[in-house]
Amino acid sequence: MAAFLSLFGPFDRPVAQIATQDLEYLLYSWTGSMLGLSGVRLCWRIGLWRRGRVVVGIATGVIMAGPMTLAVWGVQFVVGGRPPPAAALPNIVWDVLLISLGASLLAVLVSGRGVWMAEAAAPAKFLDRLPLRLRGADLWAVEAEDHYLRLHTSQGQDLILMRLADAVDELEGIEGAQVHRSWWVARHAIADARRGDGRATLTLKDGSEVPVSRTYARHLRERNWI
Protein backbone atom coordinates (compact mmCIF):
# COMPACT_ATOMS: atom_id res chain seq x y z
CA MET A 1 0.00 0.00 0.00
CA ALA A 2 2.84 2.38 0.84
CA ALA A 3 4.57 1.65 -2.47
CA PHE A 4 1.32 2.21 -4.37
CA LEU A 5 0.70 5.54 -2.67
CA SER A 6 4.27 6.63 -3.36
CA LEU A 7 3.77 6.00 -7.09
CA PHE A 8 0.26 7.44 -7.08
CA GLY A 9 1.48 10.61 -5.33
CA PRO A 10 -1.69 11.81 -3.54
CA PHE A 11 -1.83 14.84 -1.26
CA ASP A 12 0.10 16.95 -3.82
CA ARG A 13 3.37 15.15 -3.15
CA PRO A 14 5.77 14.82 -6.13
CA VAL A 15 6.61 11.32 -7.38
CA ALA A 16 10.30 12.26 -7.34
CA GLN A 17 10.29 11.94 -3.54
CA ILE A 18 9.36 8.24 -3.56
CA ALA A 19 12.25 7.19 -1.30
CA THR A 20 11.41 9.69 1.43
CA GLN A 21 7.66 9.19 1.09
CA ASP A 22 7.65 5.42 1.60
CA LEU A 23 7.98 5.69 5.39
CA GLU A 24 5.31 8.38 5.54
CA TYR A 25 2.88 6.32 3.46
CA LEU A 26 3.67 3.21 5.49
CA LEU A 27 2.48 5.14 8.55
CA TYR A 28 -0.67 6.17 6.66
CA SER A 29 -1.29 2.55 5.62
CA TRP A 30 -0.89 1.20 9.15
CA THR A 31 -3.14 3.90 10.60
CA GLY A 32 -5.69 3.31 7.85
CA SER A 33 -5.75 -0.43 8.49
CA MET A 34 -6.49 0.13 12.18
CA LEU A 35 -9.24 2.62 11.35
CA GLY A 36 -10.62 0.22 8.75
CA LEU A 37 -10.82 -2.63 11.25
CA SER A 38 -12.59 -0.35 13.71
CA GLY A 39 -15.00 0.76 10.98
CA VAL A 40 -15.85 -2.82 10.03
CA ARG A 41 -16.51 -3.70 13.68
CA LEU A 42 -18.79 -0.67 13.97
CA CYS A 43 -20.66 -1.78 10.82
CA TRP A 44 -21.13 -5.21 12.42
CA ARG A 45 -22.51 -3.74 15.63
CA ILE A 46 -25.06 -1.51 13.89
CA GLY A 47 -26.23 -4.35 11.64
CA LEU A 48 -24.88 -3.18 8.26
CA TRP A 49 -23.26 -6.56 7.52
CA ARG A 50 -26.69 -7.89 6.65
CA ARG A 51 -26.90 -5.40 3.76
CA GLY A 52 -24.01 -6.87 1.83
CA ARG A 53 -20.31 -6.37 1.20
CA VAL A 54 -20.55 -3.26 -0.97
CA VAL A 55 -22.59 -1.39 1.66
CA VAL A 56 -20.10 -2.35 4.38
CA GLY A 57 -17.15 -1.32 2.20
CA ILE A 58 -18.64 2.10 1.46
CA ALA A 59 -19.73 2.66 5.06
CA THR A 60 -16.30 1.68 6.40
CA GLY A 61 -14.59 4.05 3.95
CA VAL A 62 -16.81 6.94 5.00
CA ILE A 63 -16.35 6.16 8.71
CA MET A 64 -12.56 6.11 8.50
CA ALA A 65 -12.21 9.11 6.15
CA GLY A 66 -12.61 11.75 8.87
CA PRO A 67 -10.04 10.39 11.36
CA MET A 68 -7.72 9.51 8.47
CA THR A 69 -7.84 13.10 7.20
CA LEU A 70 -6.75 14.31 10.64
CA ALA A 71 -3.92 11.76 10.62
CA VAL A 72 -2.69 12.94 7.21
CA TRP A 73 -2.92 16.58 8.30
CA GLY A 74 -0.96 15.81 11.47
CA VAL A 75 1.78 13.85 9.68
CA GLN A 76 2.25 16.60 7.11
CA PHE A 77 2.50 19.11 9.93
CA VAL A 78 5.23 17.05 11.62
CA VAL A 79 7.12 16.33 8.41
CA GLY A 80 6.83 19.83 6.99
CA GLY A 81 7.31 21.68 10.24
CA ARG A 82 4.10 23.63 9.73
CA PRO A 83 0.48 22.79 8.89
CA PRO A 84 -0.46 22.48 5.21
CA PRO A 85 -2.15 25.57 3.76
CA ALA A 86 -5.90 25.75 4.23
CA ALA A 87 -6.31 25.74 0.47
CA ALA A 88 -4.90 22.20 0.37
CA LEU A 89 -7.53 20.79 2.74
CA PRO A 90 -10.20 20.05 0.07
CA ASN A 91 -7.66 18.07 -1.95
CA ILE A 92 -6.52 16.16 1.13
CA VAL A 93 -10.12 15.32 2.11
CA TRP A 94 -10.92 14.19 -1.43
CA ASP A 95 -7.81 12.02 -1.75
CA VAL A 96 -8.35 10.44 1.67
CA LEU A 97 -12.01 9.69 0.91
CA LEU A 98 -11.20 8.04 -2.43
CA ILE A 99 -8.37 5.95 -0.97
CA SER A 100 -10.46 4.95 2.08
CA LEU A 101 -13.39 3.88 -0.09
CA GLY A 102 -11.16 1.98 -2.51
CA ALA A 103 -9.19 0.17 0.19
CA SER A 104 -12.32 -0.70 2.21
CA LEU A 105 -14.23 -2.01 -0.80
CA LEU A 106 -11.25 -4.07 -1.91
CA ALA A 107 -10.79 -5.52 1.59
CA VAL A 108 -14.39 -6.67 2.03
CA LEU A 109 -14.77 -7.94 -1.55
CA VAL A 110 -11.71 -10.20 -1.36
CA SER A 111 -12.43 -11.44 2.18
CA GLY A 112 -12.99 -15.20 2.43
CA ARG A 113 -16.34 -16.83 3.00
CA GLY A 114 -15.33 -17.78 6.52
CA VAL A 115 -14.66 -14.14 7.34
CA TRP A 116 -17.87 -12.86 5.83
CA MET A 117 -20.36 -14.05 8.43
CA ALA A 118 -23.16 -11.76 7.29
CA GLU A 119 -23.84 -13.71 4.12
CA ALA A 120 -23.56 -17.09 5.78
CA ALA A 121 -26.09 -16.49 8.54
CA ALA A 122 -29.58 -15.06 8.41
CA PRO A 123 -30.61 -12.50 11.04
CA ALA A 124 -31.55 -14.17 14.31
CA LYS A 125 -35.27 -14.86 14.48
CA PHE A 126 -35.33 -13.73 18.11
CA LEU A 127 -34.68 -10.10 17.12
CA ASP A 128 -38.22 -9.92 15.72
CA ARG A 129 -39.50 -10.41 19.27
CA LEU A 130 -37.90 -7.22 20.59
CA PRO A 131 -40.50 -4.66 21.73
CA LEU A 132 -40.96 -1.74 19.33
CA ARG A 133 -39.01 0.67 21.52
CA LEU A 134 -36.00 -1.65 21.39
CA ARG A 135 -36.10 -2.40 17.65
CA GLY A 136 -32.71 -1.68 16.14
CA ALA A 137 -30.98 -1.91 19.51
CA ASP A 138 -27.89 -4.02 20.07
CA LEU A 139 -28.93 -7.12 22.03
CA TRP A 140 -26.49 -7.76 24.88
CA ALA A 141 -28.07 -10.45 27.02
CA VAL A 142 -31.24 -12.37 27.84
CA GLU A 143 -32.04 -13.12 31.48
CA ALA A 144 -34.75 -15.51 32.67
CA GLU A 145 -37.11 -14.16 35.34
CA ASP A 146 -39.84 -16.67 36.23
CA HIS A 147 -41.90 -17.05 33.03
CA TYR A 148 -40.44 -13.90 31.50
CA LEU A 149 -37.19 -12.91 29.83
CA ARG A 150 -35.46 -9.64 30.63
CA LEU A 151 -33.78 -8.23 27.55
CA HIS A 152 -30.58 -6.26 28.11
CA THR A 153 -29.88 -4.00 25.12
CA SER A 154 -28.00 -0.86 24.15
CA GLN A 155 -31.30 1.05 24.46
CA GLY A 156 -32.36 -0.23 27.85
CA GLN A 157 -34.25 -3.22 29.23
CA ASP A 158 -37.68 -4.75 28.79
CA LEU A 159 -39.57 -7.98 29.51
CA ILE A 160 -41.18 -10.47 27.14
CA LEU A 161 -43.10 -13.67 27.87
CA MET A 162 -40.99 -16.61 26.69
CA ARG A 163 -38.88 -19.53 27.88
CA LEU A 164 -35.09 -19.15 27.80
CA ALA A 165 -34.66 -22.52 26.08
CA ASP A 166 -36.85 -21.36 23.18
CA ALA A 167 -35.02 -18.03 23.04
CA VAL A 168 -31.61 -19.71 22.79
CA ASP A 169 -32.82 -21.66 19.75
CA GLU A 170 -34.00 -18.46 18.07
CA LEU A 171 -30.76 -16.59 18.90
CA GLU A 172 -28.86 -18.73 16.39
CA GLY A 173 -26.97 -16.34 14.13
CA ILE A 174 -25.71 -14.05 16.91
CA GLU A 175 -22.30 -14.79 18.40
CA GLY A 176 -23.23 -15.63 21.94
CA ALA A 177 -23.75 -18.47 24.39
CA GLN A 178 -25.78 -19.62 27.35
CA VAL A 179 -23.56 -19.08 30.38
CA HIS A 180 -26.00 -19.99 33.16
CA ARG A 181 -29.38 -21.69 33.41
CA SER A 182 -30.87 -18.19 33.58
CA TRP A 183 -28.58 -16.26 31.20
CA TRP A 184 -27.66 -16.04 27.52
CA VAL A 185 -24.96 -13.44 26.67
CA ALA A 186 -23.75 -11.94 23.38
CA ARG A 187 -19.97 -12.12 22.97
CA HIS A 188 -19.52 -8.45 22.08
CA ALA A 189 -21.54 -7.32 25.12
CA ILE A 190 -18.91 -8.49 27.61
CA ALA A 191 -17.01 -5.57 29.11
CA ASP A 192 -15.06 -7.63 31.64
CA ALA A 193 -14.60 -11.25 32.75
CA ARG A 194 -13.10 -12.30 36.05
CA ARG A 195 -12.55 -15.58 37.84
CA GLY A 196 -12.26 -16.27 41.54
CA ASP A 197 -13.21 -18.84 44.17
CA GLY A 198 -13.73 -21.40 41.44
CA ARG A 199 -16.41 -19.31 39.70
CA ALA A 200 -16.45 -16.79 36.88
CA THR A 201 -18.47 -13.60 36.48
CA LEU A 202 -19.09 -11.59 33.32
CA THR A 203 -19.74 -7.85 33.41
CA LEU A 204 -21.89 -6.46 30.60
CA LYS A 205 -21.62 -3.04 29.01
CA ASP A 206 -24.61 -1.84 31.05
CA GLY A 207 -22.88 -2.88 34.29
CA SER A 208 -24.95 -6.02 34.85
CA GLU A 209 -23.02 -8.89 36.40
CA VAL A 210 -23.69 -12.32 34.96
CA PRO A 211 -22.74 -15.52 36.86
CA VAL A 212 -21.13 -18.31 34.89
CA SER A 213 -22.16 -21.72 36.12
CA ARG A 214 -19.75 -24.64 36.15
CA THR A 215 -21.95 -26.41 33.62
CA TYR A 216 -21.04 -23.87 30.95
CA ALA A 217 -17.64 -22.66 32.22
CA ARG A 218 -15.58 -25.29 30.38
CA HIS A 219 -17.21 -24.45 27.05
CA LEU A 220 -16.57 -20.74 27.61
CA ARG A 221 -12.92 -21.37 28.46
CA GLU A 222 -12.49 -23.33 25.24
CA ARG A 223 -13.84 -20.30 23.36
CA ASN A 224 -11.54 -17.92 25.31
CA TRP A 225 -14.44 -16.04 26.87
CA ILE A 226 -13.04 -16.41 30.38
Q: What whole-number percentage of the chain has pLDDT above 70? A: 83
Average pLDDT over residues 6-20: 61
Model pLDDT for residues 155-198, shown as the tens digit of each residue: 999 999 999 999 999 998 888 999 999 999 999 999 999 887 76
pTM of the model: 0.48
- Please tell me the distance from the alpha carbon of residue 101 to that of residue 86, in angstroms, as a whole number: 24
**Residues 141/157, Cβ–Cβ less than 8 Å:** no
State the pLDDT at residue 119. 44
Model pLDDT for residues 50-79, shown as the tens digit of each residue: 677 788 889 988 999 889 888 888 877 877
State the pLDDT at residue 118. 43
The CA-CA-CA angle for residues 97, 100, 103, to 5°, reads 145
| Residue spans per domain, the chain | 2-120, 125-222
CATH number, span 125-222: 2.40.50.1020
- Please tell me the distance from the alpha carbon of residue 167 to that of residue 125, in angstroms, as a whole number: 9
